[in-house]
């Protein structure tokens, strides 16, 4: 049995790899975060493989169903709406379940490609020999704890944030940062990476806040914070 973990474009459909296309055409079923979103990619490349939804709200029974299906069809691919499955994504639960159930009887094969984390780090100009990745921050409970962890980190820190929370998150971070040198720490933010309105903001936290206030375009954000 083979479970393929296939990375797909963040936005620009041209970023998919030849190997990913080959795998998506060859398997008989693709588990997608949102079948409607994935269909745009598959249709663009003329891929007619059958799809099934699998996302963060899927039940444990859906995982069991997919594993049973894997036994039946022997090869299954999993993709997310954008980027690499399993990174801040429920794909890791399916992989974990496959490892527990099948062990070495199932090959779990990465088909690498786009990742928002790596994309923004590659152009950040900040130290990347080691970094702290925190995914999406909690909405309320535990958020200050996570922000303190970022502020106190000696390594470059990276996290995701949504359109609706980016300003409040950065404002809170600015309030929590000690006065002096810390407030001048470099921050790099990528918005809508690889898409039409891709923007990369650079500056200290106050400069970034000013730039975002004057930019009404919405999008998904990846935030990189210089270590202290």
Digitized pLDDT (tens) for each residue of the chain, 228 residues in all: 999 999 999 999 999 999 999 999 999 999 999 999 999 999 999 999 999 999 877 777 899 999 999 999 999 999 999 999 988 888 889 999 999 999 999 999 999 999 999 999 999 999 999 999 999 998 888 899 999 999 999 999 999 999 989 999 999 999 998 766 567 899 999 999 999 999 999 999 999 999 998 887 688 899 999 998
Give strand pairing partners of 5.
78, 110
Architecture of domain 116-225: 2-Layer Sandwich (3.30)
What letter would DSSP give residue 13? G
HSE toward the beta carbon, residue 217, CA cutoff 13 A = 14
Phi, psi of 59, rounded to the nearest 5 degrees: -80, 165
Q: What is the pLDDT of residue 58?
A: 77
Whole-angstrom distance, CA of residue 126 vs CA of residue 113: 22
Q: Are 32 and 53 in contact (CB under 8 A)?
A: yes
Where in the sequence of the chain do the CATH 3.30.950.10 domains occur?
A: 116-225
pTM of the full structure: 0.90
Contacts of 188 (CB under 8 A, 6+ apart): 120, 123, 124, 125, 126, 200, 201, 202, 223, 224
Q: What is the pLDDT of residue 180?
A: 64
User: What is the per-residue pLDDT for 3?
Assistant: 97
Number of Cβ within 10 Å of residue 140's Cβ equals 6
d(CA 133, CA 83): 15
Q: CB under 8 Å, gap of 24 or more: what pairs does 47-51 form?
A: 47/21, 49/24, 49/25, 49/77
The class level of CATH for 2-111 reads alpha beta
For residue 182, the model assigns a pLDDT of 61
User: Please, are residues 109 and 22 in contact by the beta-carbon 8 Å criterion?
Assistant: no
Outline which parts of the chain fall under CATH 3.40.1010.10.
Answer: 2-111
Strand, helix or coil at 69?
helix
What pLDDT is attached to residue 214?
84
Q: Of 155, 79, 160, nearest to 114 (Cα)? A: 79
* Distance from C-alpha of 206 to C-alpha of 23, rounded to nearest angstrom: 45
Quote the pLDDT of residue 76.
Answer: 97
């Amino acid at each position: 049995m083979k479970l393929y973990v296939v990375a797909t474009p963040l936005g620009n459909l041209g970023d998919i790899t030849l190997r990913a296309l080959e795998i998506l055409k060859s398997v008989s079923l693709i588990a997608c975060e949102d079948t409607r979103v994935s269909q745009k990619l598959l249709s663009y490349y003329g891929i007619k493989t059958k799809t099934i939804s699998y996302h963060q709200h899927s039940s444990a029974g859906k995982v069991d169903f997919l594993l049973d299906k894997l036994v039946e069809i022997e090869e299954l691919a999993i993709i997310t709406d954008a980027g690499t499955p399993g990174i801040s994504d429920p794909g890791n639960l399916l992989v974990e379940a496959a490892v527990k159930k099948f062990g070495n009887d199932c090959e779990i094969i990465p088909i690498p490609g786009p990742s928002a984390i790596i994309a923004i780090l590659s152009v950040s100009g900040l130290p990347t020999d080691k970094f702290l990745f925190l995914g999406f921050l909690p909405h309320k409970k535990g958020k200050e704890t996570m922000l303190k962890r970022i502020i106190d980190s000696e390594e470059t820190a990276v996290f995701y944030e949504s359109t609706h929370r980016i300003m409040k998150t950065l404002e809170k971070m600015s309030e929590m940062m000690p006065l002096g040198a810390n407030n001048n720490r470099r921050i790099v933010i990528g918005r809508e990476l690889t898409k039409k309105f891709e923007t990369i903001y650079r500056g200290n936290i106050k400069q970034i806040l000013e730039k975002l206030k004057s930019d009404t375009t919405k999008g998904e954000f990846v935030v990189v914070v210089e270590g202290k």
